[in-house]
Amino acid sequence: MSQYPVIVLASRNQKKAGEISELLRPHGIRVQSVADYPQAQEVVEDGSSFAENAAKKASETARTISQWTIGEDSGLMIDALDGAPGIYSARFSGEDATDEKNNAKMIQELAGVPLEQRTAAYVCNVALSNPKGEICLQVEARCRGRMTEAPRGQNGFGYDPYFEIIELHKTFGELAPIVKQHLSHRARAFERFIPQLVDLFQRENK
């Protein structure tokens, strides 16, 4: 039995929930998906930054279900597209967006842009709310790479098959999940977030 409370992730994205659960498990912190709470509403992501959206998801969900909640907002910023798709990464191709449609639009917008100018960054912002809806912790991290012209690899999700870590000559789609867990924007954000989270919970338990 863990000494720490269960944390709810304010996301119905099962792959994202799985990644975050894997990152927190070694520290004895159990993560539950918000999908387990029927009373939790879908939070409207109308913030102007990853930070605003992450905080809103965490605090609104926490107030509804009275649990410690993580809000996470992440996306892709492509330099040649002036930072797009940014906070609209998940719905880049419109309201009925899918990974396939988003990737098709991204490739179309980058048509004619040479490889060396296709630099980009994945950004991840993580916010923690207490059960009252107050934000207690917030961190942001990024991982730089570039967008390939064709997809490579079957792993990951979203834009992963196109996002190449230049030094490794591999896309996130080609990297083994264990490697991505150390390199990705989400891994880097949680690397900063977890020690502060553990410290906070230890103080709460005293």
CA distance 18 to 83: 27
Q: Is 105 annotated as a binding residue?
A: no
Q: How far are the Cα atoms of 12, 70, 144, 150 from residue 59, in angstroms, in the given order?
A: 16, 9, 29, 39
Q: Is 158 annotated as a binding residue?
A: yes
Name the active-site residue from 36, 73, 82, 96: 73
Q: Is 14 annotated as a binding residue?
A: yes
Q: Is 180 annotated as a binding residue?
A: yes
Q: Are 199 and 180 in contact (CB under 8 A)?
A: no
Q: Are 145 and 79 in contact (CB under 8 A)?
A: no
Q: Is 11 annotated as a binding residue?
A: yes
Instruction: Give the length of the chain.
Output: 206
Q: Is 188 annotated as a binding residue?
A: no
Q: What is the b/e burial string over 29-67, where b = at least 16 CB atoms within 10 angstroms of the residue's CB?
A: bebbbbeebeebeebebebeebbbbbbbbbbbbbbbbeb
Q: Is 16 annotated as a binding residue?
A: yes
Q: Is 146 annotated as a binding residue?
A: no
CA distance 13 to 120: 23
Answer yes or no: 199 catalytic.
Answer: no
- Look up tokens 């083994």; give the residue: 176
Q: Is 13 annotated as a binding residue?
A: yes
Q: Is 186 annotated as a binding residue?
A: yes
Amino acid at 4: Y
Residues designated as active site: 73
Binding-site residues = 11-16, 73-74, 157-160, 180, 185-186
Binding-site residues for Mg(2+) = 73
Binding-site residues for substrate = 11-16, 74, 157-160, 180, 185-186
